[in-house]
Structure 1
């Protein structure tokens, strides 16, 4: 996610700041990886590496102290995904798929209850014509129209 994908509103400022700091942290970790890989074992390369890791530590500390991030809780399931080395986008995709299936099932139930209401209304009106106005009122109030 980039800062351009987040709507810039006052309540989203902490989120924008977190995204920017995460991008900086990611860049620093990549640079640290390159420094470790290319380390020559000299005092200068050791000093550069120590400086880079101190920078990473400072960035982690800054990320932890962003004001207003308490309003954006991270679900424990996502943290578990990350700890297990899995992509949190997979969690999001699975969550959306489960909700889509659940919504489709609930929509089917609602449609079937509507059909049951209509059939039952027809039967009640055919057996008890004096209840026609009451049945039509119930249908009108429960049809969602």
Structure 2
């Protein structure tokens, strides 16, 4: 959500970039129309040259912006766009992959917790004198203890 707001706000670097890119796209559309309707006259040549120079100037302005130097764009995303694919689909696929990985890791975490509890019960049954140490280790390795430690 926060990144979407950044794009809408033209005072942020990404918001102003979106505005500049929209202008470049509009210039490309005009350039395409001019090329399609090209008459070959001197005026048409001058108009076409002006649109090409305007496009080059705008692209140069975007590529030389200092306020975008710290913004990292994944190369996978750039390759995706370069292949003519929609970056929104890349984002959706990326989120889906992260969700699946999170589910997998959550399952592993639960399996380790169950193993820890089973092992602790077995150790306490076989070695009752170790019960305080086992309980201490179990408390230190529980998810709620980890969350409390992370909050500190």
For 2:89 and 2:52, the matched residues in 1 are separated by: 30
Q: TM-score, normalising length from structure 2?
A: 0.80
Where does the alignment leave 5 or more consecutive residues of structure 2 unmatched?
145-152
- Partner residue of 2:118? 119
For 2:40 and 2:79, the matched residues in 1 are separated by: 37
1:102 maps to 2:101: yes
For 1:121 and 1:82, the matched residues in 2 are separated by: 52
For 2:119 and 2:68, the matched residues in 1 are separated by: 53
Q: TM-score, normalising length from structure 1?
A: 0.84
Instruction: Give the SS at the match of 1:73.
Output: coil
5 Å-filtered alignment, 1:6-85, equals: 6=6, 13-85=12-84
Runs of 4+ in 1 over 3 A off after TM superposition: none
Instruction: Give the SS at the match of 2:15.
Output: helix
- Structure scoring higher RCO (CA < 8 A, sep ≥ 6) equals 1
5 Å-filtered alignment, 1:118-137, equals: 118-137=117-136
RMSD across aligned positions (CA): 2.3
Where does the alignment leave 5 or more consecutive residues of structure 1 unmatched?
none
- Measured after TM superposition, the shift of residue 70 of structure 1 is 1.7
- Partner residue of 1:5? 5
